Amino acid sequence: MRTTPDFPLRIYYDGSCIVCATEIERYGRKDQDGRLILVDISDPGFDATLLGISLADFMFQMHAIDRSGRVFRGVEAFWAIWQASPSSTLLGLCGTLISLPVLNPLARLCYRIFAGLRGYLPKRPRECAGGTCRIGRRGGMRIMMNLIISVLVCAALLHAAGDRIRLVAIHDPITPVTAHFLHRNLEEAARQGERLVLIEMDTPGGLDTAMREIVKDLMASPVPVAVYVAPSGARAASAGAIIALAADVAAMAPGTNIGAAHPVSLGGKVVDKTMEAKLLNDSEAYAEGIAQRRGRDETLARRMVRESISLSAEKALEGRVIDLIARDRSDLLRQLEGRRISRDGREVLLHVAGAELVKGEMGRAERILNAISNPNVAYVLMMLGMMGLFFELSTPGVILPGAIGGISLILALFAFQSLPVNYAGFLLILLGLILFIAEIKIISHGMLTVAGMTSMLLGSLMLFETQAPYLRLSWGVILVSVASTMLFFGVVVAKALSVHRRRPTTGREGLPGLVGVAETGLAPQGKVFVRGEYWDAWGDEPIEAGTPVQVLEVNGMRLKVRKTTQL
């Protein structure tokens, strides 16, 4: 609630603006009790620095300062001026209207538009400095019509933006991506002046840090927030239950449940009893404080944390954990119409009938980050990253595998920050890859391959070791990934072995076994023509010129040959 200004009130206006001066001076003439003191900031003797306000700020919007030093700006300054004429029914009505939460943003917007266009209005000439000049009837009517049209346009825009309900769907675990997505939608709803933010939830829980960020946003939201656990069969478990408690209105569909908010240690870490008690007490007090703030049952809120109880929709309504049960979204909106809720100590009436339902969608970046936060996707990205980097290091210059591997590994590391990663499992997977690579370099008759497969399988099982089932790796993903990696390295090893066993075809090592022709007679030495080259050669028996010969061995730059029937 605004408090009445402490009169007299000093009004600082731009006397060079005909419209501004005419309006303010009219208020001055009507003031019979000396409540208003008019100060023309266009006067050369006016010094804004004495008031601690810049002249540019004075010029941009009207200021009013009461006897106690309280400053009113823009629309608030007009409200303060209108309080100086309590007997005027019209001014009192205007003051009441611009004080309403729905119309106040409209009034501010219209004033800012007027302030931005004020520089284009006609200026007061020098001969009007005494205040004897007035706007003609036609000029005044034209200006008033322009102002009315501006107000109507602003009202239409604000009405179109305000008659909306923002629908936000959360059907995944609570992660930092979810918190960012919800934060963005709450900000947009507040900026657009929307009537309600409706969160439809079906979540198994999630990270404590992300949950607390969401709760803080719900508590600070200027727009009322309703959480609806739907459809039938959905749940608001763990972190989802605390988020539902923090909403202005908590609703559930029949056949849903809420609760099981006991804190769970992530990463398979063993927590000592003292630390476990501290975490439990902290979570319990947190849930109790939220329930108390929203007028919900504090005992059940504590039990959801300490005893991990889960309540059906009917039991939750009976225990005052939620506010209502709705069959579907239409039934929920029907029940919300005209409902009174308490926000920051004041009562707010919900009007949602006829409002347009606008769905808040995840952006492209949010969808990608939300997808990779899935442990199965993060695991596959990690494997691709390691394989890609291995390719690049083993065959420098290919570029593409290294680029794909680097991107995949960075995305996997991003996902790991919101997942319960057990780094012992990560190191076992890395060791498995190293053993597979070693099999290519060292012939171990498959022993390194078996060891690598075992290490990778154990590491995959340990990577996301947690009690929460939605944070565990799928057996199918593990088996396919390990089998694919083993198959890949198996093919590589087989190819490497075949290359090692293949007879050399170039260099000195490729000469034995080749067939040539004796260019001269060998008795026992002479010259032969082999593979397009002339060589000095000798043999154990005489060989006539033109006879086919086969290379037996290479001794320095000489070949030992023998007769052959091959051509």
pLDDT band at 103 (very low <50, low <70, confident <90, very high): low
Superfamily of domain 163-362: 2-enoyl-CoA Hydratase; Chain A, domain 1 (3.90.226.10)
- Over residues 515-534, the pLDDT tens digits come to 888 888 888 889 999 888 88
In this predicted structure, what is the pLDDT of residue 1?
45
Q: Does domain 508-563 have CATH number 2.40.50.140?
A: yes
154-163 mean pLDDT: 50
Please name the residue that has the structure tokens 């719900």: 218
42-69 mean pLDDT: 84
In the chain, where the domains are located: 9-157, 163-362, 374-501, 508-563
Question: Would you give the DSSP letter of residue 346?
Answer: E
> What 3-state class would DSSP assign to 29?
helix
Write the CB contacts of 296 (distance below 8 Å, at least 6 apart in sequence). 245, 250, 290, 320, 321, 322
- Over residues 395-449, the pLDDT tens digits come to 677 778 788 888 888 888 887 776 777 888 888 888 888 887 777 677 677 788 7
Q: How far apart are the C-alpha atoms of 455 and 435, rounded to whole Å? A: 9
Of 259, 251, 250, 246, nearest in space to 232 by CA? 251
349-366 mean pLDDT: 87
Q: How far apart are the C-alpha atoms of 514 and 496, rounded to whole Å? A: 25
Q: How far apart are the C-alpha atoms of 42 and 438, rounded to whole Å? A: 85
Write the CB contacts of 116 (distance below 8 Å, at least 6 apart in sequence). none
144-166 mean pLDDT: 56
Q: What percent of the chain has pLDDT over 90?
A: 24
Of 53, 93, 88, nearest in space to 73 by CA? 53
Question: Would you give the DSSP letter of residue 4?
Answer: P
pLDDT band at 485 (very low <50, low <70, confident <90, very high): confident
8-34 mean pLDDT: 80
Across the chain, what does the average pLDDT equal? Answer: 80
Cis omega (within 30 of 0) for bond into 8: yes
Write the CB contacts of 532 (distance below 8 Å, at least 6 apart in sequence). none
113-125 mean pLDDT: 63
Say if strands 533-538 and 558-563 run parallel, antiparallel, or are unpaired.
parallel
Which segment, 15-29, 44-58, 114-128, 346-360, is predicted with the most confidence on average? 346-360
Q: What percent of the chain has pLDDT over 70?
A: 80
Whether 513 has a pLDDT exceeding 90, the answer reads no
In this predicted structure, what is the pLDDT of residue 136?
45
In this predicted structure, what is the pLDDT of residue 182?
95
